[in-house]
Protein backbone atom coordinates (compact mmCIF):
# COMPACT_ATOMS: atom_id res chain seq x y z
CA UNK A 1 0.00 0.00 0.00
CA UNK A 2 1.31 3.44 -0.96
CA UNK A 3 0.17 6.63 0.76
CA UNK A 4 0.37 10.00 -0.99
CA UNK A 5 0.51 13.09 1.24
CA UNK A 6 0.15 16.74 0.24
CA UNK A 7 2.23 19.16 2.31
CA UNK A 8 1.31 22.85 2.31
CA UNK A 9 2.21 25.96 4.28
CA UNK A 10 -0.06 28.72 5.53
CA UNK A 11 2.98 31.04 5.41
CA UNK A 12 3.91 30.67 1.74
CA UNK A 13 1.28 30.69 -0.97
CA UNK A 14 2.01 28.25 -3.76
CA UNK A 15 4.26 25.98 -1.67
CA UNK A 16 3.27 22.33 -2.23
CA UNK A 17 5.09 19.04 -1.87
CA UNK A 18 3.57 15.64 -2.50
CA UNK A 19 5.34 12.69 -0.94
CA UNK A 20 4.56 9.06 -1.67
CA UNK A 21 5.57 6.51 0.94
CA UNK A 22 5.10 2.79 1.51
CA UNK A 23 2.83 1.87 4.43
CA UNK A 24 5.64 -0.29 5.91
CA UNK A 25 8.07 2.65 6.14
CA UNK A 26 8.54 4.83 9.21
CA UNK A 27 7.75 8.43 10.00
CA UNK A 28 11.51 9.00 10.24
CA UNK A 29 11.82 8.13 6.55
CA UNK A 30 8.86 10.44 5.85
CA UNK A 31 10.53 13.23 7.88
CA UNK A 32 13.83 12.79 6.02
CA UNK A 33 12.12 12.89 2.61
CA UNK A 34 10.20 16.06 3.53
CA UNK A 35 13.41 17.70 4.73
CA UNK A 36 15.32 16.59 1.62
CA UNK A 37 12.60 17.81 -0.76
CA UNK A 38 12.66 21.23 0.89
CA UNK A 39 16.39 21.54 1.56
CA UNK A 40 16.11 21.83 5.36
CA UNK A 41 18.59 20.61 7.97
CA UNK A 42 17.04 17.31 9.07
CA UNK A 43 18.80 17.30 12.46
CA UNK A 44 16.57 20.10 13.80
CA UNK A 45 13.73 19.15 16.14
CA UNK A 46 10.54 18.19 14.37
CA UNK A 47 7.34 16.31 15.19
CA UNK A 48 4.22 15.11 13.47
CA UNK A 49 0.94 15.55 15.35
CA UNK A 50 -2.32 13.81 14.61
CA UNK A 51 -5.20 16.26 14.54
CA UNK A 52 -8.15 15.29 16.72
CA UNK A 53 -11.82 15.65 15.65
CA UNK A 54 -11.88 18.89 17.70
CA UNK A 55 -8.92 20.25 15.64
CA UNK A 56 -6.44 19.93 18.52
CA UNK A 57 -3.03 18.28 18.56
CA UNK A 58 -3.29 14.66 19.54
CA UNK A 59 -0.64 11.96 19.38
CA UNK A 60 2.88 13.31 18.82
CA UNK A 61 5.29 11.40 16.61
CA UNK A 62 8.60 12.93 17.68
CA UNK A 63 12.03 12.90 16.07
CA UNK A 64 13.66 11.75 19.31
CA UNK A 65 12.59 9.44 22.13
CA UNK A 66 11.49 11.77 24.91
CA UNK A 67 9.89 9.39 27.40
CA UNK A 68 11.85 8.14 30.38
CA UNK A 69 11.40 4.72 31.99
CA UNK A 70 9.20 6.20 34.72
CA UNK A 71 7.22 8.28 32.24
CA UNK A 72 3.93 6.69 31.26
CA UNK A 73 3.15 9.28 28.57
CA UNK A 74 1.84 7.13 25.74
CA UNK A 75 0.98 10.24 23.73
CA UNK A 76 4.51 10.47 22.25
CA UNK A 77 5.97 7.92 19.85
CA UNK A 78 9.45 8.18 18.28
CA UNK A 79 9.55 8.49 14.49
CA UNK A 80 12.05 5.68 14.00
CA UNK A 81 9.61 3.05 15.31
CA UNK A 82 6.31 4.60 14.18
CA UNK A 83 5.28 2.87 10.97
CA UNK A 84 3.12 4.80 8.54
CA UNK A 85 0.33 2.19 8.55
CA UNK A 86 -0.02 2.37 12.33
CA UNK A 87 -0.76 6.09 12.53
CA UNK A 88 -2.56 6.94 9.30
CA UNK A 89 -6.31 7.26 9.63
CA UNK A 90 -8.77 7.43 6.75
CA UNK A 91 -11.30 9.14 9.03
CA UNK A 92 -8.87 11.92 10.08
CA UNK A 93 -6.27 12.12 7.30
CA UNK A 94 -4.79 15.41 8.54
CA UNK A 95 -1.52 15.81 10.39
CA UNK A 96 0.67 18.76 11.10
CA UNK A 97 4.45 18.65 10.85
CA UNK A 98 6.09 21.08 13.27
CA UNK A 99 9.47 22.04 11.83
CA UNK A 100 10.26 25.13 13.98
CA UNK A 101 9.53 24.51 17.66
CA UNK A 102 10.63 27.96 18.89
CA UNK A 103 8.09 29.70 16.69
CA UNK A 104 5.55 26.84 16.58
CA UNK A 105 5.60 26.84 12.79
CA UNK A 106 4.31 23.85 10.88
CA UNK A 107 3.20 22.38 7.58
CA UNK A 108 -0.23 20.97 6.97
CA UNK A 109 0.01 17.32 5.93
CA UNK A 110 -3.00 15.66 4.34
CA UNK A 111 -3.43 12.09 3.12
CA UNK A 112 -4.80 12.56 -0.40
CA UNK A 113 -4.56 9.07 -1.86
CA UNK A 114 -4.05 5.42 -0.95
CA UNK A 115 -3.21 2.84 -3.56
CA UNK A 116 -1.08 0.05 -4.87
CA UNK A 117 2.22 0.97 -6.45
CA UNK A 118 2.13 0.50 -10.21
CA UNK A 119 5.84 1.03 -10.65
CA UNK A 120 9.07 -0.25 -9.19
CA UNK A 121 9.79 3.18 -7.71
CA UNK A 122 11.88 3.52 -4.60
CA UNK A 123 9.91 5.01 -1.72
CA UNK A 124 9.58 7.48 -0.17
CA UNK A 125 9.66 9.80 -3.14
CA UNK A 126 8.66 13.37 -3.83
CA UNK A 127 6.19 13.27 -6.73
CA UNK A 128 5.38 17.02 -6.80
CA UNK A 129 7.49 20.01 -5.79
CA UNK A 130 6.12 23.53 -6.32
CA UNK A 131 7.15 26.81 -4.73
CA UNK A 132 9.79 27.80 -2.22
CA UNK A 133 9.50 26.66 1.39
CA UNK A 134 9.51 29.14 4.25
CA UNK A 135 12.81 29.55 6.07
CA UNK A 136 13.37 26.69 8.49
CA UNK A 137 14.10 28.53 11.73
CA UNK A 138 12.71 32.00 12.32
CA UNK A 139 14.26 33.68 15.33
CA UNK A 140 13.34 37.26 16.13
CA UNK A 141 12.62 39.38 19.20
CA UNK A 142 8.99 38.28 19.16
CA UNK A 143 10.06 34.66 19.79
CA UNK A 144 11.93 35.57 22.96
CA UNK A 145 9.03 37.27 24.79
CA UNK A 146 7.86 34.08 26.52
CA UNK A 147 11.39 33.01 27.45
CA UNK A 148 11.92 35.74 30.05
CA UNK A 149 14.97 37.13 28.26
CA UNK A 150 15.75 40.83 28.32
CA UNK A 151 17.14 41.50 24.86
CA UNK A 152 18.17 44.99 25.95
CA UNK A 153 21.07 43.53 27.91
CA UNK A 154 22.65 42.45 24.63
CA UNK A 155 22.87 46.02 23.33
CA UNK A 156 26.65 46.59 23.22
CA UNK A 157 26.36 50.36 22.77
CA UNK A 158 24.74 50.88 26.19
CA UNK A 159 26.53 48.10 28.10
CA UNK A 160 30.02 48.55 29.49
CA UNK A 161 32.38 45.61 29.22
CA UNK A 162 32.91 43.61 32.40
CA UNK A 163 36.43 43.10 33.64
CA UNK A 164 37.73 39.96 35.36
CA UNK A 165 37.31 41.72 38.74
CA UNK A 166 33.64 42.42 37.93
CA UNK A 167 33.03 38.74 37.30
CA UNK A 168 34.86 37.67 40.47
CA UNK A 169 32.81 40.14 42.51
CA UNK A 170 29.70 38.18 41.53
CA UNK A 171 30.91 35.13 43.51
CA UNK A 172 30.16 34.69 47.20
CA UNK A 173 33.26 34.94 49.43
CA UNK A 174 31.91 32.12 51.64
CA UNK A 175 32.88 29.64 48.94
CA UNK A 176 36.49 29.62 50.18
CA UNK A 177 35.74 27.35 53.19
CA UNK A 178 36.48 24.06 51.34
CA UNK A 179 39.78 22.56 50.21
CA UNK A 180 41.82 24.42 47.64
CA UNK A 181 43.25 22.67 44.60
CA UNK A 182 46.11 23.71 42.37
CA UNK A 183 45.57 20.92 39.83
CA UNK A 184 43.34 17.92 39.11
CA UNK A 185 45.97 15.67 40.74
CA UNK A 186 45.19 17.35 44.09
CA UNK A 187 41.52 16.45 43.65
CA UNK A 188 42.32 12.79 42.90
CA UNK A 189 44.37 12.58 46.14
CA UNK A 190 41.32 13.20 48.34
CA UNK A 191 39.22 10.54 46.56
56: exposed, middle or buried (Cβ count in 10 Å: 0-12, 13-18, 19+): exposed
Residue of 161 and 13 predicted with greater confidence = 13
Give the closest residue to 76 by CA, choosing from 37, 42, 45, 40.
45
Asked if 62 and 77 touch (Cβ cutoff 8 Å), the reply is yes
Instruction: List, for residues 40-72, the tens digit of each pLDDT value.
Output: 988 888 999 999 888 899 899 998 876 555 555
Asked if 117 and 2 touch (Cβ cutoff 8 Å), the reply is yes
* Residue 181 pLDDT: 54
Instruction: List, for residues 164-191, the tens digit of each pLDDT value.
Output: 566 555 555 555 555 565 665 655 555 5
- DSSP 8-state secondary structure symbol assigned to residue 37: H
Residue of 132 and 173 predicted with greater confidence = 132
Both 14 and 72 in one domain: the answer is yes
Q: Which domain holds residue 177?
A: 144-190
Both 24 and 79 in one domain: the answer is yes
On the question of pLDDT at 157 being above 50, the answer is: no
Both 119 and 65 in one domain: the answer is yes
Count structural domains, the chain: 2
28 contacts: CB under 8 Å, gap ≥ 6: 63, 79, 80, 82
Asked if 9 and 136 touch (Cβ cutoff 8 Å), the reply is no
On the question of pLDDT at 138 being above 50, the answer is: yes
Both 110 and 148 in one domain: the answer is no
156: confidence class by pLDDT, cuts 50, 70, 90: very low
Enclosing H/E stretch for 165: helix 164-169
On the question of pLDDT at 80 being above 50, the answer is: yes
Pairing of strands 57-62, 76-78: parallel
Write down which residue in 101, 119, 140 finishes a domain.
Answer: 140
Q: What is the mean pLDDT of the chain?
A: 79
Amino acid sequence: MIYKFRITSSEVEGFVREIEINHEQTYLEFHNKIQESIGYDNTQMASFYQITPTSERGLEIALFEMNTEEDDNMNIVPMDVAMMREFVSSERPELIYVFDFFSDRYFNVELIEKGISKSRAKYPKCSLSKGDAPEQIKMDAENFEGLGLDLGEFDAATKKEKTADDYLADFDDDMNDGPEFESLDDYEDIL
